[in-house]
Structure 1
Amino acid sequence: MPTNALDLTPTQAATCCSPLTSTPLTSEQAADVVPLLKALADPVRLRLLSLVAAHEGGEACVCDLNDAFDLSQPTISHHLKVLHEAGLLGREKRGTWVYYSVRRDVLQDIATLIGGAR
């Protein structure tokens, strides 16, 4: 278990903190949450997250997402990797494909951090 805010992953950072409306973040906590929010701040990644969440069964592979964008498959894969590394997407390899699913617990933690409701 991390011993201080500097050791936290973005996912842990989102869960560690009180809602912004009740307690100000420390500089370290804010810095730890930034990668998570930066991952969401890109329009392509935000759309990808939404498409994966809304996809049948709550998961999708790159092959399911390519047609929604005028981007190459490697570019889409890069954006999915950023979302995964930020803790927003889970992934599971099946044969030659990697399937992504939204980590709804992390989205709830972000909502709690920003909105203060649980």
Structure 2
Amino acid sequence: MPASQKEGPNRETLTRVAELFRVFSEPTRLAILQFLRERSMSVNELVERLETSQANVSKQLKTLYEADLLHREQRGNQVFYSIKEEMVYELCAIVCDKLNRTARASAEIVYQI
């Protein structure tokens, strides 16, 4: 058996994966990603759509940007954000598919009772 299989997963890699999954653990961040799927948006547009404070939106955008998932562009006195990594939508689709399968299975169990 190769040494890498005996040693198990690389701890540093697992930590980095966990950190990226943490980015997706906040509902406001997920909503931002969905809005940015349409087009790039300014912080003010996102504040309006999310109906939350600018401080909260800025905090969540910072987290997404630092995770290298967003582009940031200064236009005049406004900052616009857009998606850098389309893979976020593939990941969300996988998770939503899992949730749908679980919901269907739960509904079938309830129906049988």
TM bin, normalised by shorter chain, reads 0.5 to 0.7
Q: How does 1:9-20 map to 2 (within 5 A)?
A: none
Aligned length: 86
Asked whether 1:47 is paired with 2:47, we answer no
Letter in 1 for 2:61: L
Q: CA deviation at 1:25?
A: 4.4
CA offsets per residue over residues 11-62 of structure 1, 9 Å max, x none? xxxxxxxxxxxxx7422111012222111110000111111112xxx21111
Return the TM-score normalized by structure 1.
Answer: 0.62
1:81 aligns with 2:65: no
Q: Structure 2 unaligned segments of length 5 or more: list them.
A: 1-7, 95-113
Q: TM-score, normalised by structure 2?
A: 0.65
- Aligned partner of 1:36 in structure 2 is 20
Q: Which has the larger radius of gyration?
A: 2
**Cα distance change, pair 33–62 in 1 and its aligned pair in 2 (3 A):** same
Unmatched 5+ residue regions in structure 1? Answer: 1-23
Let me know the Cα RMSD of the aligned residues. Answer: 2.4
- CA–CA distance in structure 2, aligned partners of residues 41 and 76 of structure 1: 15
Please give the alpha-carbon distance, in whole angstroms, between the structure 2 residues aligned to 1:107 and 1:67: 23
Amino acid corresponding to residue 67 of structure 2 in structure 1: A
C-alpha distance in structure 1 between counterparts of 2:73 and 2:46, whole Å: 16
Per chain length, whose mean CA-contact separation is higher, i.e. which structure has more relative contact order (CA < 8 Å, sep 6+)?
1
Tell me, yes or no, if the aligned pair for 1:40 and 1:46 is still in contact at 8 Å. yes
